Structure 1
Amino acid sequence: MTQTKKVVGASFIIEDQDFHSIVTPDELTDEQRMIAETTAEFVERDVLPVDEQLEKLDYDLTVKLMRKSGELGLLGADVPEAFGGLGLDKVSSTLISEHLSRAASFALSIGAHVGIGTLPIVYFGNTEQKNKYLPALSTGELIAAYCLTEPSSGSDALGAKATAKLSEDGQHYILNGTKQFITNAGFADVFIVYAKVDGQHFSTFIVERTYEGVSVGPEEKKMGIKGSSTRPLILEDVKVPVENLLWEVGKGHLIAFNILNIGRFKLAVGCLGASKEAIELSAKYANTRTQFGKPISSFPLIGKKLAEMNTRTYVLESIIYRTAGLMDAGLSDIDHNSPEAGVQSAKAIAEYAIECSINKVFGSEVLDFVSDEGVQIHGGYGFIQEYKVERIYRDSRINRIFEGTNEINRLLIPGTLVKRAIKGELPLLQKAQGLQAELLQLVPGQIFEGTLEEETHLVSMAKKIFLMAGGTAVQKLNTKLEQEQEVLSALADVMIQIYAMESALLRTKKLIAKQGEDKSAAAIAMAQVFIHEAFAEIEALAKETLSAIETGDTLRTQLSVLKKLTRRSSVNTVALKRQIAARVIPAERYLC
């Protein structure tokens, strides 16, 4: 199932991709299925029975279970074999993260450790640092935490005030400052800390808990994720050996931004697992809860909710495994025994920084929708802590803030795209300029008869709409574009919807090719529902964008062109959603 062809990051916005080349979760290898089963069994057997105790912030139990997961290899998936890990592909490590998500706050403790806590050393550590820390991090002997946020700097990471000064004897960096909202701070042994050398050069350090001057503040009282430790880290004249500088002085921003890419992706994976659990809880409850003499699952509006929850989760799953496949292909020709393997790996993942941000935004908002509808299906009981859907709802809210707020990511998505185009890494501007000739050749009133033919056409038209609206924005606003955050956000939402639409479309086509239309009926229905509803949203976003940057006759002309691009037939989404619900309700779980 491995994708072998490398794809240029963000090229989905200007090029169509064949379904044969994408990775989907419907074609896992036996080894990958075994990894998923091992993870699920660990959660079911070892974590869920003590879930209530974990939610009360039992540090000793959390560390004990993390070490047990390390024995199973669940902490070393992304660590090279040469340094005590398993060196698994990204699809396999994605499966681990997805199945751990049922462990709620405990999953966050593991996620912070294996992701943003360990990967800086995997990608940017030298051989000595890797040998010293990675084997112990892979087993859980050492627990890691990531320390970027400060009381006065969140999304503006480079505004950090923590300082590092080289000692007179040149043997240590003296660190001072406070880091805030640090996951795992209550029990972590190793902290990845960002500070400015001489107050100017943003750099990264490996700081051990036992160093003199290291302390932590009290636990934060949080809305959700109550079972994860969140405390400030306080650094007072901490002597960090010079050999614990990660990579080079002044390269901290590159480490931070590259690690955030994978962190955003892994966050979306967690949202996928939680969404699946919320569907299962909600469908089971709807089948057992009776009102007016029959189960509420028999009411069409409850079925509609479950259908929409399942559909969005199907699309999220499609983009996640497509992105994991992209990263695996990008990493495929790296010599992982090379001293430069880590930096090369980080660069390969950075190629898909836009896709990672899309995963983060889409995933966090899908889970918010799914968990909210889950509470609604439960009615008053959804507001009671005895029912897990209440916790899923509370825990979900942090995901739109973690790893860069969704607003920041929405600015990054088109902003990064334009920068890549200016550097010549993507022929975006050339495609936008050539669009006018294409518009003259569009055939109005096309008739579509084959399965998903119209949906394929709509994805193609959506890309043209983005090129028209985005090209107009760049041409009209030029250097002022970055100041027009509403326009950037709208363009980001168009890109997000296009990536989601195409991912669902390609996955569904692959399913049809593999098992036929009859067995793919639910997937076809979900792809149709999502693509038509997303296309309507894209049309509205394009109108909003054009109206924000054009006026008068020029605007009327642009809207006329948009109307030409958005012609489509009406689809009976009510019937399609009933069809989807008819499968989900008796199965009482997420289905594709």
Structure 2
Amino acid sequence: MTDTRRFGGRFIIEDSKPEAVVTPEDFTEEQRLMHHAASQFLETELVPKDAEIEALNYELTVELMRKAGDLGLLGADIPEAYGGIGLDKVSTTLLAETLARSSSFALSVGAHTGIGTLPIVFFGTPEQKSKYLPDLATGTKIAAYCLTEPASGSDALGARTTAKLSGDGKHYILNGSKLYITNAGFADLFIVYAKVDGDKFTAFIVERDTPGFSVGPEEHKMGIKGSSTCPLFFEDVAVPISHVLGEVGKGHHIAFNILNIGRFKLGAACLGSSKETIELASGYANTRKQFGQAISGFPLIAAKFADMNIRTFALESLLYRTAGFIDDTLRLSDVEAGEEGESSAVDEGRRAAKAISEYAIECSMVKVFASETLDAVVDEGVQIHGGYGYIREYKVERIYRDSRINRIFEGTNEINRMLIPGTLLKKAMKGELPLLQSAQTLQGVLLQPMPLPLFTEPLEKEAYRVGQAKKTFLAIGGLAIQKLGLRLEQEQEVLCVLADLMIQTFAMESVLLRTQKMQGRNGSRNAEQAELAQTMTVVFIQEAMEKVEGLAKTALAALESGDGLQMQLSILKKLMRAPLVNTIALKREIAARVIRSEQYVV
């Protein structure tokens, strides 16, 4: 078991060892077989029916979801005791990545297995789990998650749907509406949030045939057109008190914990789509000829493939690292529970939710980095296709449209950027993270001479630069707290800079640790992979540090002026010093591998 210390965010003040991270190179034979089964289902069942699915054929989507259920693809997160297969988070991440190529169908499955089913897995009573989970695992029943309302988008707790206890005390009477609910057109079960007596935010399980409950018409969307998205209406809907999920007034614990998982799983979907885009674009570029040669032979086109592959490599690295964090914490939680005698199904679910919430920061970083990576990758994919990329006949056009929603749902990227430093500071104030102490200790160090080390070993410079990025974050964060105090919460632009500094640092370290781990493996194939990974790591970290420097200057200009600003800029200059490499030459090496393979390479 790796020592993750249970709390997320520690990467910013502590260094990790390569053996402490999970990478795709660590996949077990069982995980690879699961990936193969999902790929076979994709190719045999989904690809031939792609056009029908995208035409929003309810019956076909439900039929295919049930076939997926028969293969165990819907029960990955459901415990075996309730008809699922109870896989670890690395396995379920790989499954979500694999199915991403099925576009809208992947969203339907993801909404069902993730935010639709997990509230019951984590917070349901034994009776609720026994009643619903077996059917959710097989696809006999489809689930939907109902949080968003017309008047409360990002402000989830501003919901206006109400619940009032009936006179006989047997039901809660729900009134209100929900908006943009995925799977609404064909779901059987709805996780609905409402305020009991107007203020106690609470989760309920609502069945489709409950009187007074109705589903509105399909929304006409920019992308993900094969998924169902409808409003919901509640008019004196009587929900039995046995259908309260968790505790009355504690629905926010469920909502926010489930959103953490939703954000993380979205990262897996973005990774799968990024890899597919690289395949589509490289295959097209090798066959499309202009000026007498394949366009893949032109350096500016080739450079795009290098950038696409490097960003996807970084996304893959931080995604599976985070999955490993969550798995380690879940195992640690189980061990501690056994020692304390906690063994009920309810305890188990709540422990799992708490363990996952420890990595809320990482889940938000995954969501932001993943959604923006896919947007950048598919934008280049369309550009490589030229005018053809704008035509619906080519799938890259659909991926482009489908991608745009990822920066909006599961909490907008702006909201997630606010959450990242905000959650970190809350952890520090609770004493869970020695953040402020680390920032104070660093202040004295930064005023001392900082000679540049000699870099003689592979990736030694990159490891040094990751450390400098952490110091930069601590320096900027410490200055922001010193200058702004409690007002920092209102300075959203500064918070956004701090979030982006954390995201870049987490991505850099994830890439570095993965590559270092690869270098420790034996075999010619492993050596070849490690060499390519090292090349990508060198480029990614150099370019990420350029972003870190720009972000730091933006923050310093907002926090300081005059001589104080000049002093801070001189410190930043010391932190940023490092030998430059010829990234153009390195990118040509990476691009050649992608073009030759016509797929994402590592």
Cα deviation for residue 446 of structure 1 reads 2.5
Task: Tell me the equivalent position of 1:590.
Answer: 600
Which residue of the partner structure matches residue 567 of structure 2? 557
Which of 503, 526, 530 is the matching residue for 2:536?
526
Shift of 1:3: 4.5
CA distance in 1, matches of 2:51, 2:70: 23
Does 2:247 correspond to 1:248? yes
Secondary structure of the structure 2 residue equivalent to 1:181? strand
For 2:282 and 2:420, locate their aligned partners in 1 and report how far apart those are by CA, in whole Å. Answer: 35
Cα offset for 1:437? 2.9
For the pair 1:171 / 2:152, whether they are aligned, the reply is no
Residue 583 of structure 2, aligned match among 573, 584, 587? 573
Cα distance between partner residues in 2 of 1:223 and 1:339: 40
Q: Which residue of 2 aligns with 1:185?
A: 184
Report deviation, 1:440.
Answer: 4.4
1:27-86 CA distance string (max 9 Å, x none): 211000001111111011100100000011000000000000000001011111111110
Relative distance call for 1:39 and 1:360 in structure 2 (3 A) is: same
Query: What CA deviation, in whole Å up to 9, does each residue of 1:261-289 have, x standing for no partner?
Result: 00000001000000000000000000000
Q: CA deviation at 1:559?
A: 1.0
In 1, the alpha carbon distance for the partners of 2:116 and 2:318 equals 25
Shift of 1:441: 5.0
SS in 1 for 2:269: helix
Q: What's the offset of the Cα at 1:569?
A: 1.1
Q: Corresponding residue for 2:340?
A: none
Amino acid corresponding to residue 474 of structure 1 in structure 2: I
- Counterpart of 1:436 (choices 427, 439, 443) is 443
Change (3 A) 1:391 1:526: same
Q: Work out the CA distance in 1 between the residues paired with 2:471 and 2:272.
A: 33
What is the letter of the counterpart of residue 230 of structure 2? R
- What does residue 545 of structure 1 align with? 555
- Aligned residue number for residue 284 of structure 2: 285
2: CA distance, partners of 1:125 / 1:175: 20
Structure 2 length normalisation: TM-score? 0.97
Whether the 8 Å CA contact 2:149–2:159 is kept in 1: the answer is yes
* Structure 2 match to 1:339: 346
CA distances 1:366-411 after superposition (whole Å, capped 9, x unpaired): 0000000000000000000000000000000000001000000000
Paired AA for residue 590 in structure 2: I
1:399 maps to 406
**Is the contact between residue 145 and residue 190 of structure 1 (CA under 8 Å) also seen in structure 2?**
yes
- In structure 2, relative to structure 1, the CA distance for the partners of 1:500 and 1:442 (3 Å cut) is farther
Cα distance, 1:249–1:337 mapped onto 2, change above 3 Å: closer
Contact 1:3-1:23 within 8 A present in 2 as well: no
Q: Is the 8 A contact 2:122 2:346 kept in 1?
A: no
Distance in 2 (CA, whole Å) between partners of 1:27 and 1:114 is 25
Contact 1:6 1:329 in 2 (8 A): no
Q: Distance in 1 between matches of 2:174 and 2:439?
A: 49
Map of 1:301 onto structure 2: 300
2:271 and 2:312 in contact (8 A); partners too: yes
Shift of 1:438: 2.4
Partner of 1:416: 423
Deviation at 1:552, TM superposition (A): 1.4
TM-score, L = length of structure 1: 0.99
Aligned counterparts, 1:138-537, within 5 A: 138-333=137-332, 334=334, 338-441=345-448, 443-515=450-522, 517-537=527-547
- Secondary structure in 1 matching 2:595: helix
Q: Secondary structure at the match of 2:202?
A: strand
Number of residue-to-residue matches in the alignment: 591
**Contact preservation (8 Å) 1:145, 1:188:** yes
Distance 1:39 1:518 in 2: 28
Once the 2 structures are TM-superposed, how far is the Cα of residue 554 of structure 1 from its aligned partner?
1.2
> Which residue in 2 is equivalent to 1:13?
12
On the 8 A contact 2:378/2:396 being kept in 1, the answer is yes
Aligned twin of 1:83: 82
CA distance in 1: counterparts of 2:162 and 2:528, whole angstroms = 62
Mean Cα displacement is larger for which, 431-440 or 215-224? 431-440
**What is the letter of the counterpart of residue 141 of structure 1?**
T
CA positional deviation for 1:447:
2.4
- Which AA in structure 1 matches 2:536? M
Q: d(CA) in 2 for partners of 1:436 and 1:166?
A: 57
Q: Is the 8 A contact 2:305 2:591 kept in 1?
A: yes
* Structure 1 residue 519: Cα displacement: 4.0
Counterpart of 1:26 in 2: which secondary structure? helix
Match of 2:98 in 1: 99
The 2-side partners of 1:349 and 1:484 are apart by 28
Letter in 2 for 1:572: N
Structure 1 residue 337 displacement after superposition? 5.2
3-state SS of paired residue (2:521): helix
For the Cα contact (< 8 Å) 1:6–1:326, is it kept in 2? no
Contact 2:447–2:571 (CA under 8 A) maintained in structure 1 = no
Q: Which residue of 1 aligns with 2:125?
A: 126
Which whole-Å deviations, capped at 9, do the CAs of 1:443-483 have from their partners, x for residues lacking one?
32322121111000000000000000000001110100011
Label 1:81 to 1:337 Cα distance change in 2 as closer, same or farther (>3 A). farther
CA distance in 2 between counterparts of 1:452 and 1:532 reads: 11
Q: Is the 8 A contact 2:553 2:569 kept in 1?
A: yes
- What is the alpha-carbon distance in structure 2 between the residues aligned to residue 302 and residue 410 of structure 1? 32
1:44 matched residue in structure 2? 43
Q: Is contact 1:10-1:352 (8 Å) kept?
A: yes
Higher mean C-alpha displacement, 520-529 vs 275-284: 520-529
Match of 1:112 in 2: 111
For residues 595 and 197 of structure 2, the distance between their equivalents in structure 1, rounded to whole angstroms, comes to: 61
1: CA distance between counterparts of 2:527 and 2:551? 33
Provide the identity percentage. Answer: 63
Structure 1 residues 256 and 245, CA gap change in structure 2 (3 angstroms): same
Q: For residues 53-68 of structure 1, what are the structure 2 equivalents within 5 Å? A: 53-68=52-67
Q: Once the two structures are superposed, what CA deviation does each residue of 1:210-237 show, in whole Å capped at 9, x if it has no partner?
A: 1001111110000000000000011111
Task: Find the aligned partners of 2:414 and 2:346 in 1 and give their Cα distance.
Answer: 37
Q: Distance between the aligned counterparts of 1:432 and 1:115, measured in 2?
A: 37
User: How many angstroms apart in 1 are the aligned matches of 2:50 and 2:56?
Assistant: 10
Write the distance in 2 (CA, Å) between the matches of 1:5 and 1:151. Answer: 40
Q: Deviations over 1:329-388 (max 9, x none)?
A: 010142675430101100000000000000000000000000000000000000000000
Deviation (angstroms), 1:416: 0.6
Q: Provide the C-alpha distance between the structure 1 equivalents of 2:5 and 2:47, rounded to a whole number of angstroms.
A: 40
Contact 1:3 1:328 survives alignment (8 Å): no
Distance 1:200 1:337 in 2: 30
Q: Structure 1 residues 548 and 381 mapped into 2: Cα distance closer, same or farther (>3 Å)?
A: same
2: distance between equivalents of 1:497 and 1:152?
34
Contact 2:521/2:527 (<8 A) preserved:
no
Deviation string 1:83-133 (CA, Å, 9 cap, x unpaired) is 111010001111110000010000000000000000000000010000000
